[in-house]
Structure 1
């Protein structure tokens, strides 16, 4: 290939003329008279701005000046002659200061590649796959699926609030975290959950050497979300009966609003059974013995990670038997599938809104049903240890510490008696006679 070198003050006209002169066997180099070291290199298929310089100092091995270096700083499409001269001046300035512009360029390119691979949205997906394999923060064993799904949901919501989904994880700093805390200032429990989810995600990013330090650690303790005071609100059996009837009314008045039989049965099941809403949503026919009236929850579906055996009241059994028959008596599958998607119900807020409207009752939460269960039973003589066992608590006063280590009795007969008592009280309230106690319910197949 023929190589031609010329000098000229490079202008737009110079560039246009050089492009017209290109041919397959020619490499044309036009050196700029205004900026020493800057040249326009014209090849058969393109043009580029190149800057040449000689590093400062002497080569310690040869005792001579180092060889000339060359770096491409752009093309006429990206840099005008003035911009190319400015870029060349920066390169020469770095070299004059003792730097290595070529090495700096490679470092910048490598960093850009790492940043592209560390986009937050992609990392959240990777984290969701890695999270089940990470050890629990406290204790032994693996993380329960319910925690994992909640953790990822809180993380994705926080990413949306901070508007960092399309950015590199290194872009998350104090400003983004303050934006998250400010947005959730009126919801302290939500703020704590989402800030915690972000912090644990960034811990993982630090472990993966994607960031040098978790920026959540730089947020002063005075600005971090504080532990929310434990809730103590509970409902009377009269109020629970009111919500029970409201579930039927909400279904009857639905008129396409989306509150269907599955939502009615789901709400009534939570009123009758002292379980967590996520446990009810994931309830599977394979975990039920409808004939014996027993629900065996595997540890992977409970908050504590401990398996749980729970006797069921007749109110819940009536719901389950009807749904089981309507579904064709399946051996497995969700008891309360979402009507459209067929997945576990997750529209808890929408269901509650329907109940509030139908009952004219507000200010309650789903978790209040569990507090109502133990409170009502305590008022009717059921031992706290029995009630705690039925809630599958691990850190309660009757099940934590030394007592929890040594006391392993499940007290099954007492649990079944307590559930019968609960069934009697709730049934009486639903039937409009809360001051009376209905006949003892017979649980077929129980001890």
Structure 2
């Protein structure tokens, strides 16, 4: 039989003529079985004394001329000692293995979420601390990467980005949790080497220096005035900062508070032990000013169970405001206080403690207002909770804050157009 022609092939297709193989020469064959929708090109050759056959495409994919070119190229490779059919099978096997590997690959976000659910949730007193680090830093920076593809340079990039935004302490925390997540991945046989193991706090942010910043009375007056001028500074943020100052509580104790914790008629906040840093519940006396501010937050929160419900639909598992919300809001206020040295939200607790001392509050009572444990022998034998004393102390502190609201003189002015651009 001579060479094939396109006219012949099309006639066979039109007539529905089926056959196992009709040759064109040089190892090129055309097959048209009953189950074939269109004829199929096959290449037959010998390798190491054995007959080999491979499919190279259908007639719909390769014309007769293209099929001949393909066979010519394959024959040249066979002549050089290549088993082209075997190579094709190897590539197919490798491709399938790659697909399976990709399907089973674990991303960093999946690892972080699994670590959180299995090792943190239900075990740690404050699981939201780890949740926030996953949502704010680890997820956005590394989340889409496969765990086995993460290199030390990725860790370094993440840490440096956190330091550059002015959060060195957070960088240290992220490093600690990331290192533990990778250790967990080693136990799960996901990876063999921890890419974060070579890093220490010096690579993240260095030694964490204790702060001693506290706002003076004049600075507090400027803060209250600036909060009234700042654009985009919500009532919720204003009230939150005032409550943090007055009640001496930690930021997340307020941000994650449920309405059910507050007994406003009795002027008491029942802070549960699972949300207290000491691990023990504490009743916080509420001055009349605090009750007034809390009632406003209750009204603003509407039907939500949370005092400060989340304000945006975000990819988070936390229904209350994020830990960075108040700090971000504070950034809108600070430009209205150009002469005031920089301060953070955490400095508000130190500010409260400083002014309690200035008001003549007993040091033990002042420490209990901040829910600090009493040290040494006094802490071991003295189980008095100082509730009434704390109420008196916070009432004095509330009176001072109320007076500072209208204290003069203070230098706070709206931002000029030029300074708005800089801010």
Q: Fold-level match, TM-score > 0.5?
A: yes
Listed one character per residue, the Cα deviations across residues 189-217 of structure 1 (whole Å, up to 9, x for unaligned) are 23223322322222232232211232211
Listed one character per residue, the Cα deviations across residues 387-424 of structure 1 (whole Å, up to 9, x for unaligned) are 33222335xxx34x776565543222222222122223
User: Are 1:124 and 2:98 an aligned pair?
Assistant: no
Listed one character per residue, the Cα deviations across residues 55-89 of structure 1 (whole Å, up to 9, x for unaligned) are xxxxxxxxxxxxxxxxxxxxx9x999569959x97
Determine the structure 2 residue equivalent to 1:427.
402
- CA–CA separation in structure 2 for the residues paired with 1:318 and 1:206: 53
Determine the structure 2 residue equivalent to 1:23.
33
- CA–CA separation in structure 2 for the residues paired with 1:206 and 1:244: 51
User: Are 1:410 and 2:395 an aligned pair?
Assistant: no
- CA–CA separation in structure 2 for the residues paired with 1:321 and 1:46: 75
Looking at secondary structure, tell me which structure has more helix per residue: 2
Determine the structure 1 residue equivalent to 2:158.
180
The Cα shift of 1:356 comes to 1.5
Report if the CA contact (8 A) 1:243-1:359 is conserved: yes
Bigger relative contact order (CA 8 A; separation at least 6): 2
Cα-Cα RMSD:
4.5
Determine the structure 1 residue equivalent to 2:8.
none
Determine the structure 2 residue equivalent to 1:200.
180
Determine the structure 1 residue equivalent to 2:330.
352
Give the TM-score of the pair, scaled to structure 1.
Answer: 0.66
Give the TM-score of the pair, scaled to structure 2.
Answer: 0.70
- CA–CA separation in structure 2 for the residues paired with 1:281 and 1:386: 24
Listed one character per residue, the Cα deviations across residues 104-137 of structure 1 (whole Å, up to 9, x for unaligned) are 99798557634433342xx52464355144259x
- Match for residue 245 of structure 1 among 210, 225, 230: 225
Structure 2 regions of 5+ residues with no counterpart? 1-17, 62-67, 410-423
Determine the structure 2 residue equivalent to 1:191.
171
Change (3 A) 1:35 1:349: farther
User: Are 1:289 and 2:263 an aligned pair?
Assistant: yes
User: Are 1:335 and 2:307 an aligned pair?
Assistant: yes
- CA–CA separation in structure 2 for the residues paired with 1:40 and 1:80: 14
Determine the structure 1 residue equivalent to 2:189.
209
User: Are 1:232 and 2:212 an aligned pair?
Assistant: yes
Listed one character per residue, the Cα deviations across residues 21-64 of structure 1 (whole Å, up to 9, x for unaligned) are 433379985334689776423698999xxxxxxxxxxxxxxxxx
User: Are 1:134 and 2:128 an aligned pair?
Assistant: no
Does 36-45 or 418-427 show the bigger shift?
36-45
Secondary structure of the corresponding residue to residue 214 of structure 1: coil
Structure 1 regions of 5+ residues with no counterpart? 48-75, 96-100, 435-447
- CA–CA separation in structure 1 for the residues paired with 2:154 and 2:300: 50
